Amino acid sequence: MINVGIIGATGYTGEELINILLRHPQVRITSVSAKLDKPRKIFEIFPRFKTRLETICSQPNIDQIISKTDLVFLATPHTVSMEIVPKLLKAKRRVIDLSADYRIKDIKIYERFYRTAHKDKIHLAEAVYGLPEIYRVKIKEARLVANPGCYPTAVILALAPLVAFGIIDLNSIIIDAKSGTTGAGRRLTEDFIFSEINENFKAYKVNVHQHIPEINQELTKIAGKRINVTFVPHLLPLNRGILTTIYVRKIKSKHLAPDIIKIYKKFYKKEPFVRIRQEDDFPRIKDVVGTNFCDIGIRIEKELIIIISAIDNLLKGASGQAVQNMNIMYNFAESTALL
């Protein structure tokens, strides 16, 4: 049994963390904090938790949090995490950071895409990128896990086998991604008003989105060669879910569909949360919403491979994956509270 704290509990990923952890038999939520004008019971913020979580949510007090927890989840905005992490690590608390602060290893790239100076270069190198399918062994021992972005999770899992086995032209990757609105957090801008999103659909940050360097970094590591993807995200009029449609050129036309499906199935053979469809059978957002799964479907043309992956952006794309990482770090059964 461990004690965990959540900093930034009033956003969507915080809410989702609470929801998952309340079902986790080996976890006690002992601290819940966020930027708030005054302390409030968590169920006053989220009435769905009434009778289930009586904890008071107040401004984060790091010393107090340290005294009450073994592990801290940071569901804070980027730039906030890197101010908190050093203190938590110094006090020997383990940390899972859901922000972007420790994902990008190249500080210049971080600073360009997030338009802010990085304040904790010391721990940046140490942070383990929390994608269990690639880094499970390192996650086990990690003090600091940088939980992946939602788009990168869906994209990297969809492409890893092709990139690892040298099947595709690494310069040809085109990712057309579509996300529900909770991907942007509880954002208060005119763009996110209901009547601006409902019955609407649009591309945004066309090929300049801040998740691009994260995708490039991880795919490059897997390939062992420099990769620059083309990435166009779109905003769906729905709450939860990401679907990515990915187009890549095959290097050799000899790779046939059954071979490629086999490569995927083998690559993810032991993974509890990646499911490969049969050829030409594609996942829908509906198939993964409310689950921690990443579902992947594939179609092979003569010169092209089309891959479609789907995740719930708040689960496998954020809080579910964070709990999966926690389960790995503490040797809990990896699916606990996630099925």
Residue numbers of the site for its own copies (CB under 8 A)?
12, 22-23, 47-48, 50-52, 174, 176, 178, 180-182, 186-190, 192-203, 206-207, 230, 232, 234, 236-241, 243, 245, 247, 272, 275, 280, 282-291, 293, 295, 299, 301, 304, 306, 308, 339
The torsion angles phi and psi of 7, rounded to 5 degrees, stand at -100, 130
**Least spacing, CB of residue 318 vs its own copies, in Å:** 14
Collapsing DSSP states into helix, strand and coil, what is residue 241? coil
246 torsion bin: left (phi>0), alpha (psi -120 to 50), beta (else): beta
Count CB-CB contacts under 10 A for residue 27. 23
Q: Which of 128, 150, 177, 314 is an active site residue?
A: 150
Q: Which residue, 99 or 244, is less far from its own copies as judged by CB?
A: 244
Note if 150 is an active site residue.
yes
Q: With beta carbons less than 8 A apart as the criterion, state whether 300 and 253 touch.
A: no
**Least spacing, CB of residue 39 vs its own copies, in Å:** 18
- Amino acid making up residue 309: S
**Least spacing, CB of residue 26 vs its own copies, in Å:** 15
Which tokens sit at 257? 């569909």
What is the distance in angstroms between the CA of the first residue and the CA of the last residue of the chain? Answer: 19
C-alpha pair distances (Å), 273 with each of 101, 185, 269, 324: 25, 24, 10, 10
Q: With beta carbons less than 8 A apart as the criterion, state whether 177 and 247 touch.
A: no
**Least spacing, CB of residue 120 vs its own copies, in Å:** 30
Q: Which residue, 86 or 185, is less far from its own copies as judged by CB?
A: 185
Q: With beta carbons less than 8 A apart as the criterion, state whether 44 and 53 touch.
A: no
**Least spacing, CB of residue 315 vs its own copies, in Å:** 12
Q: Which residue, 65 or 327, is less far from its own copies as judged by CB?
A: 327
Q: Which residue, 67 or 198, is less far from its own copies as judged by CB?
A: 198
Rounded CA separation 226/209 (Å): 19
Q: Which residue, 32 or 236, is less far from its own copies as judged by CB?
A: 236
Give catalytic residues, as residue numbers: 150
